[in-house]
Amino acid sequence: MDVTVLLIEFEGVIADTAAPRAAALVEAFADDDVELTPRLAALAPGLTTEQAVHRIRAAAGLAEDGTAADLCRLRAERAFAARMGQGVNLQPGVRMALERLASQARCAIVTRASRREVEFVLGLSGLEGLFRPIIALEDAAAPKPSPAPYLAALARIGQLFPGQHLCALAVEDSVAGVHAARAAGLPSVVIGDLLAHEALEADAWFETLEMLTPSRAKETAGGARMGHE
């Protein structure tokens, strides 16, 4: 028996975190007298806060300084948490789309966000029961674009369905996530507003999660069968 598994990025696919993440980085870098220009801000999407801070610091010409980078990351995380406390919106139509997909597939979260951030939003939205497992930033040896988060998710799900084939599909919002899925041997679909050459790196692209029907998900996931006969 084949089990269709959807491994879904929380940020960008489920929750609309782009604006509060960007505002948090602006606030964090302002303390270092660094203006987050559009060029610098464009380096952050798809990355963890730590990755974004290091990339922006390098692009801004700042000297390598682990302590300064850690302090900037902490400021950005605190600023983002404060904005989450004011409410983070789900992406349009995502609740109905997830309920439809979960009726015919195992849904899990594989994300660059922290577990605290994920559980906070899912708890407020009443969606926490749809996902098992949740692989957050703390649960893998390295973040995306490393395959480690996806490999951790597949190992957990394999324990839930011993002896069965897993037809797994990564549902992503960024090129970094697509690269992580590919490195883990998974097909991927990308959701949202990406540049054409970025969207083409995935196996399929949909403007919103609503457009990913259960039949489309099964068809795309069918090429990656993992497990035992």
Number of structural domains in the chain? 2
Pair (178, 111) in one structural domain: yes
Pair (108, 205) in one structural domain: yes
Last residue of a domain, one of 64, 85, 106: 85
Distance CA 49, CA 183 (A): 22
Which residues are bridge partners to 226 per DSSP? 166
Mean pLDDT, the chain, whole residue set = 93
If one compares 15 and 194, the residue with the highest pLDDT of the two is: 15
Q: How far is CA 155 from CA 59, 150, 168, 184, in A?
A: 37, 9, 12, 12
List the CATH number of the domain containing 94: 3.40.50.1000
Pair (143, 39) in one structural domain: no
Last residue of a domain, one of 31, 51, 85: 85
Pair (192, 111) in one structural domain: yes
Distance CA 51, CA 73 (A): 9
pTM strictly above 0.85: yes
pLDDT at 51: 97
Distance CA 103, CA 4 (A): 11
Residue 149's domain spans which residues?
2-16+88-226
Pair (109, 205) in one structural domain: yes
Instruction: Say if CB 212 and CB 189 are below 8 A apart.
Output: yes
For residue 228, pLDDT beyond 50: no
Which spans in the chain are helix H? Answer: 18-30, 38-41, 49-59, 66-85, 94-102, 115-125, 148-160, 175-183, 196-199, 214-221
